Chain A
């Protein structure tokens, strides 16, 4: 490329690698929140309470229909208005975890609904408690069909972490912005960030597919 400076690229690489670490931590922590919270949101929609089901359903719809970046701002700025100060990391994790929890709750719901009715009846016939039914019978069978969706959203959350830069989380794009404005050079930092994203998300997508196949085989499906 015409103006590509290799020495500058090498110079900024350590900072970008460090920021990649932050990006991965953000994606990982956000995903853990999403996996747990998403399960709660999914189970909340299966309780006998129609009011609770309806409320959770509408909440999930609302979160899924509105931009994550706006939700990040909302969480970050609204707290202080009421005297709660949240750090950028904290707000970012809440926003991104909640956003993806809503997506994952839909994935779980699909998984649970794919378990045949006969399995519920068999669990009742064994006189299991509700918790036992879910833990021992339903959820193990709901996971394989949900795996593809869960994998997609893991990569999805990773690709959405750059939005955290707007509230000052020092992930990849935030670092690239800083490097760019310090040196008045944007070509190398932004291109490198793009390459780093590709270098992580493409193999990750492949690995997830392999893992999916492994779990399916393991469960004899």
Chain B
């Protein structure tokens, strides 16, 4: 069966799978950004307890594999009475994993802001919170956006693993179709193309737009 005929027959399932993939991506991205900010700031904190918590979180999530984290959240947490529905467990695991990598980007971004900016903010008597929020973070954000673009692609790819706990995303649908039709080249080829289109024509252009937009706000052109 040619790719065209194949798509004509199976597009609704691939489309619904892609929809779940996009939903997982967006939820995990929101969670990942929030965790990154939180852990990145904690790792820079004066408080040793907060710093220790952040280091532990980051090392655990970066030191183990996303598959392991996903299984642990989905299969082991219920043993502690914390049963999480598979769709939620999916983006939770992916988001928490990406959050650990993002935390390092946030930390690096904040450290990349010149010391003079802290001093100037102090000289107009801003509180530590105001300095961070009004002066440092906006500049740190611009500096760290390019590596966030790569991280977002990693995040999109990471969502394919939620199929392992039977979330009906694009990867899952592709496997299902494959096992009932054995049209492997067509179905996996089509899925590869869809992921590629999502990454290359949606995620990357959006991140580039965001970079340009933020750079304009900084008056850099």
Is there a direct interface between A and B, measured as CB atoms under 8 Å apart in the complex?
yes
Interface residues of A (CB under 8 A from B): 2-3, 61-62, 64-71, 73-74, 77-78, 80-82, 159-163, 165-166, 173, 176, 180, 186-187, 190-191, 193-194, 197-198, 201-202, 205
- The answer to whether A70 touches B178, judged by C-beta atoms less than 8 angstroms apart, is no
Q: Smallest CB-CB separation from B72: which chain A residue?
A: A190
Of B38-46, B181-189, B211-219, the one touching chain A: B181-189
- The answer to whether B160 touches A173, judged by C-beta atoms less than 8 angstroms apart, is no
Note all chain B residues with C-beta closer than 8 A to A205: 63
- The answer to whether A173 touches B195, judged by C-beta atoms less than 8 angstroms apart, is no
Known: A186-B75, A186-B79. A70 touches B192 (CB 8 A): yes
Note all chain A residues with C-beta closer than 8 A to B68: 162, 173, 190, 193-194, 197
- The answer to whether A78 touches B184, judged by C-beta atoms less than 8 angstroms apart, is yes
CB of B134 within 8 A of chain A? no
Q: Smallest CB-CB separation from A177: which chain B residue?
A: B71
* CB neighbors of A among B151-202 (8 A): 153, 156-158, 160-161, 163-164, 171, 174-175, 178, 182-185, 188-189, 191-192, 195-196, 199-200
Q: Smallest CB-CB separation from A188: which chain B residue?
A: B76
Main secondary structure of the interface of A (DSSP, over half): helix
Note all chain A residues with C-beta closer than 8 A to B76: 186-187, 190-191
CB distance from B173 to the nearest CB of A (A): 12
Note all chain B residues with C-beta closer than 8 A to A64: 153
- The answer to whether B59 touches A66, judged by C-beta atoms less than 8 angstroms apart, is no
CB distance from B96 to the nearest CB of A (A): 13
- The answer to whether B71 touches A191, judged by C-beta atoms less than 8 angstroms apart, is no
CB of B221 within 8 A of chain A? no
- B188 touches which of A65, A73, A161 (Cβ 8 Å): A73
CB of B30 within 8 A of chain A? no
A180 vs B178: C-alpha distance in the bound complex, in angstroms?
A: 26
A150 vs B192: C-alpha distance in the bound complex, in angstroms?
A: 26
CB distance from B79 to the nearest CB of A (A): 5
Known: A173-B67, A190-B71. A77 touches B188 (CB 8 A): yes
CB of B3 within 8 A of chain A? no
- A74 touches which of B59, B156, B184, B199 (Cβ 8 Å): B184
- A198 touches which of B63, B164, B189 (Cβ 8 Å): B63
